[in-house]
Amino acid sequence: MRLSPVFAGMATYPFVRLDEAKASALARGVEVIDFGAGEPREETPAFLRRAVAEAIEAEPVSTYPKAEGLPELRAAIAAWIERRFGASLDPDTEIVPTLGSKEAIFGLAQVVGGPGARIAVTTPGYPVPARGALFAGADVVDVPLDPAAGWVADLDAIDWAGVAILWLNSPNNPTAAAAPRDFLEHAATLARAHGFVLACDEAYSELWFAGDAPASALQASDRTNVIVFNTLSKRSSMPGYRSGFAAGDAELVAALKRYRPNVGTAPPTFVQRAAIVAWGDEEHVVETRARYAAKRDLVLPALQRTGLEPAGGDASFFLWLRVPGDGDAEAFALRLLDELGIVVAPGPFFGPGGEGHVRAALVPTLDECRRAAELLASWQ
């Protein structure tokens, strides 16, 4: 058997390693409270579960979903974008539903760029854009985020020669920092000037705890070469439903519509019908934000008492924390797991820019967060 050389040479996905460490702790009888992986564990609102069930009952014959998605869903997404960001998009030409956002983020480098292209990804950062680039045969260019500048990149310091895609993520995973609107506008201007695609992952746009709501690259004065990804996974606590979208430049969206039938990743029709309901309701999103805020108020002070220092922003459901002194992030995380059963993700999981930091995802229940705060209060 001959495996793909890219696949064979790729390091294990970092959160698989974290799962292995958790399994080892559980085997030793440790009670684990998991702030490591950023998987939402909130209850999916009952009205959305009912919407799925009703959609299934309404269509007794199951058919293959079309890659361009239901027109009603595209219209619902366009309406939400206009309400939320004040940006007017054509639902027929500038929006395509996706199976969550991860698969669409991974696959973009197969549509834009390809072998030999340079794809710029931020560090620290979500690892999927870089892995998608490698599988597409592209070269990955690490772009450091500057903590002194609020965890945004110095875009004017980048050599744009041969760059096909610049990946941004705002609010950012893992730093929880939201990029200012003028920064996103500048990135869009550079994309037009140098001919690359600005791809912005905005999966956490609806989770913030201070200041103004996060901006979107869709608010750019000119969306040429701009594509944005978003999802219901965090906003509506629907990670297992796999429902998101890509939106922006009509030429890019048309290319995605041509590509997507080849990989068979259209969301099921009954999920799309529930997604229409989700994008049309904001009350459940406000409630979700409030739950994460309550957990943040419990966990952040407790982690600070261990010597960790807040180092990121006030958005997403992540806490980005600097390890005391010049500490080793992985060693600190392993000590928390071994001694308290509390799991956090070492910053180096997100690239070299994450050295000296850990990330805590506010996904355990409120009761688990209280228990974690109690454990941390007694930890030396």
| Tens digits of residue pLDDT in 77-115 | 999 999 999 999 999 999 999 999 999 999 999 999 889
pLDDT at 116: 92
Task: Give me the percent of the chain exceeding a pLDDT of 90.
Answer: 86
> In the chain, where are the structural domains located?
5-44+284-377, 62-281
pLDDT of 139 higher than 70: yes
Q: Can you read off the two tokens belonging to residue 73?
A: 């869903």
Stretch 268-293: mean pLDDT: 98
pLDDT at 371: 96
| Tens digits of residue pLDDT in 182-206 | 999 999 999 999 999 999 999 999 9
DSSP 26-66: HHTTPPPEE-SS----SPPPHHHHHHHHHHHHH--S--PPP
- Per-residue confidence at 380, pLDDT binned at 50, 70, 90? low
Cα–Cα distance between 3 and 56 in angstroms, integer? 39
| Tens digits of residue pLDDT in 222-261 | 999 999 999 999 999 999 999 999 999 999 999 999 999 9
**CB within 8 Å of 71: residues ≥ 6 apart:** 91, 92
pLDDT of 178 higher than 80: yes
CATH of domain 5-44+284-377: 3.90.1150.10
pLDDT of 366 higher than 70: yes
Question: How many CA atoms lie within 13 Å of 295's alpha carbon, on the beta-carbon side?
Answer: 28
| Tens digits of residue pLDDT in 16-29 | 777 787 888 888 88
Domain 62-281, CATH among 3.40.640.10, 1.10.4080.10, 3.20.20.190, 1.10.540.10: 3.40.640.10
The DSSP 8-state label assigned to residue 208 in this structure reads B
Stretch 255-282: mean pLDDT: 95
Q: Please give the model's pTM, rounded to 2 decimal places.
A: 0.95
- Per-residue confidence at 8, pLDDT binned at 50, 70, 90? confident
Q: Can you read off the two tokens belonging to residue 228?
A: 């944005």
